[in-house]
Structure 1
Amino acid sequence: MRQETSTVPAGTRLVADESLRRYRDGKVVLGGSPLRLLRLSSSGGARLRRWLSGEPVGDDAPSRALARRLLDTGLVHPEPGHATHTPADVTLVVPVKDNAEGVRRLRAATMELGAQVVVDDGSAAPLLHATMRHPAPRGPAAARNTGWRAATTELVAFLDSDTHPEPGWLDTVLPLFGDPDVLAVAPRVVSDYQCSNTDNHSRPVAAYEAERSSLDMGTRPASVRPMSRVSYVPTAALVVRRAALSEAGGFDETLRYGEDVDLVWRLIAGGGVVRYQPSSVVRHEPRPTLRSWLRQRFDYGTSAAPLAARHPGRLACARLSRAAAVTWTLVALGQPRAGFGAALTSGTLLPRTLRRQGIPVLAAARLAAQSQLGAGAMLADATRRAWWPLALLSRRGRRALLAALVPCVVQAVSHRHDLDPVRWAALRVADDLAYGAGVWAGCLRHRTLAPLLPRLTERAGRSR
Structure 2
Amino acid sequence: MADIQGSGRDTELDVVIATRDRPAPKLAACLDALRHQTFEHFGVIMVDDGGRDPVAPRVGASRPTRPVRVIRNEESIGPAASRNKGVALSDAPYVLFIDDDCISHPELVARHHAALGGAAGPAVSLGPILAPPGRRLPPWTHWDADRLGREYARLGRGESAPVWTHCYTGNLAVRRADFRAIGGFEERLARQEDIELGFRLSRLGCRFAFDPDAVVWHDSDRTLRTWTRIPALSARFDVLIDQLVPDSERLSSVRGDLSRRHRLLRLARRAGRVPAAHRCAVTGAIGTGCLLHALRADRPSLAAFSLVWDLEYTRALAEATAAPPGRLEHRPV
TM-score of the two chains, using structure 2 as the length reference: 0.72
Give the one of 269, 282, 286 matched to 1:388: 269
Q: How does 1:292-311 map to 2 (within 5 A)?
A: 292-309=226-243, 310-311=245-246
**Which ranges in structure 1 are unaligned for 5 or more consecutive residues?**
1-86, 321-374, 449-464
Tell me how many residue pairs correspond in the alignment: 279
Over 3 Å counting, the alpha-carbon distance change for 1:378 and 1:422 in structure 2 is: closer
Tell whether 2:98 aligns with 1:159: yes
Report the secondary structure of 1:170's partner residue. Answer: helix
Superposed CA deviations along residues 324-375 of structure 1, whole A, max 9, x for unmatched, are xxxxxxxxxxxxxxxxxxxxxxxxxxxxxxxxxxxxxxxxxxxxxxxxxxx9
Query: For the residues of structure 1 that align with 2:324 and 2:266, how far apart are their CA atoms?
Result: 21
Query: For the residues of structure 2 that align with 1:256 and 1:439, how far apart are their CA atoms?
Result: 17
Tell whether 2:27 aligns with 1:103: yes
Q: Is the 8 A contact 1:190 1:213 kept in 2?
A: yes
More helix by share: 2
Report the secondary structure of 1:152's partner residue. Answer: coil
Over 3 Å counting, the alpha-carbon distance change for 1:192 and 1:219 in structure 2 is: farther
Over 3 Å counting, the alpha-carbon distance change for 1:193 and 1:185 in structure 2 is: same
For 1:432, the equivalent position in structure 2 comes to 310
Measure how far apart 1:232 and its partner are. 2.9
Superposed CA deviations along residues 121-154 of structure 1, whole A, max 9, x for unmatched, are 0001211236111011111001100101101111
Q: How does 1:6-45 map to 2 (within 5 A)?
A: none
Kindly provide the amino acid, as one letter, of the partner of residue 266 in structure 1.
R
For 1:89, the equivalent position in structure 2 comes to 12
For 1:63, the equivalent position in structure 2 comes to none
Measure how far apart 1:206 and its partner are. 3.4
Measure how far apart 1:107 and its partner are. 2.1
Query: For the residues of structure 1 that align with 2:44 and 2:171, how far apart are their CA atoms?
Result: 15
For 1:191, the equivalent position in structure 2 comes to 131
Tell whether 2:119 aligns with 1:179: yes
Kindly provide the amino acid, as one letter, of the partner of residue 256 in structure 1.
A
Give the one of 16, 27, 52 matched to 1:124: 52
Q: Is the 8 A contact 2:95 2:174 kept in 1?
A: yes
Kindly provide the amino acid, as one letter, of the partner of residue 208 in structure 1.
W
Query: For the residues of structure 1 that align with 2:12 and 2:85, how far apart are their CA atoms?
Result: 19
Q: How does 1:49-448 map to 2 (within 5 A)?
A: 88-99=11-22, 100-111=24-35, 112-127=40-55, 128=57, 129=59, 131-177=70-116, 178-192=118-132, 203-213=138-148, 217-221=152-156, 223-225=161-163, 231-309=165-243, 310-312=245-247, 314-315=249-250, 316=252, 317-319=254-256, 377-378=260-261, 380=263, 383=266, 388=269, 392=273, 419-445=297-323, 447=325
Q: Is the 8 A contact 1:188 1:216 kept in 2?
A: no
Report the secondary structure of 2:214's partner residue. Answer: strand
Kindly provide the amino acid, as one letter, of the partner of residue 126 in structure 1.
P
Report the secondary structure of 1:388's partner residue. Answer: helix
Query: For the residues of structure 1 that align with 2:140 and 2:188, how far apart are their CA atoms?
Result: 30
**Which ranges in structure 2 are unaligned for 5 or more consecutive residues?**
1-9, 60-68, 327-333
Measure how far apart 1:213 and its partner are. 3.9
Measure how far apart 1:188 and its partner are. 0.7
Q: Is the 8 A contact 2:185 2:197 kept in 1?
A: yes
Kindly provide the amino acid, as one letter, of the partner of residue 247 in structure 2.
P
Over 3 Å counting, the alpha-carbon distance change for 1:313 and 1:185 in structure 2 is: closer
Superposed CA deviations along residues 262-314 of structure 1, whole A, max 9, x for unmatched, are 11100111212122322321111234322221112332222110122213353
Measure how far apart 1:447 and its partner are. 4.3
Query: For the residues of structure 2 that align with 1:441 and 1:108, how far apart are their CA atoms?
Result: 44
Query: For the residues of structure 2 that align with 1:143 and 1:194, how far apart are their CA atoms?
Result: 33
Superposed CA deviations along residues 242-269 of structure 1, whole A, max 9, x for unmatched, are 1111111111111111111111100111
Of the two, which has the highest radius of gyration?
Answer: 1
Kindly provide the amino acid, as one letter, of the partner of residue 273 in structure 2.
L
Over 3 Å counting, the alpha-carbon distance change for 1:194 and 1:441 in structure 2 is: farther
Q: Is the 8 A contact 1:189 1:284 kept in 2?
A: yes
Query: For the residues of structure 2 that align with 1:223 and 1:191, how far apart are their CA atoms?
Result: 22
Kindly provide the amino acid, as one letter, of the partner of residue 314 in structure 1.
E
Q: Percent identity?
A: 21
Query: For the residues of structure 2 that align with 1:418 and 1:377, how far apart are their CA atoms?
Result: 28
Q: Is the 8 A contact 2:34 2:106 kept in 1?
A: no
Superposed CA deviations along residues 207-242 of structure 1, whole A, max 9, x for unmatched, are 33331249964442464336xxxx332111111111
Over 3 Å counting, the alpha-carbon distance change for 1:209 and 1:302 in structure 2 is: same
Query: For the residues of structure 1 that align with 2:217 and 2:235, how far apart are their CA atoms?
Result: 23
Q: Is the 8 A contact 2:14 2:42 kept in 1?
A: yes
Q: Is the 8 A contact 2:122 2:178 kept in 1?
A: no
For 1:32, the equivalent position in structure 2 comes to none
Q: Is the 8 A contact 1:190 1:210 kept in 2?
A: yes
For 2:5, the equivalent position in structure 1 comes to none
Query: For the residues of structure 2 that align with 1:118 and 1:156, how far apart are their CA atoms?
Result: 12
Query: For the residues of structure 1 that align with 2:122 and 2:183, how far apart are their CA atoms?
Result: 18
For 2:330, the equivalent position in structure 1 comes to none
Query: For the residues of structure 2 that align with 1:134 and 1:441, how far apart are their CA atoms?
Result: 34
Kindly provide the amino acid, as one letter, of the partner of residue 268 in structure 1.
S
Kindly provide the amino acid, as one letter, of the partner of residue 205 in structure 1.
W
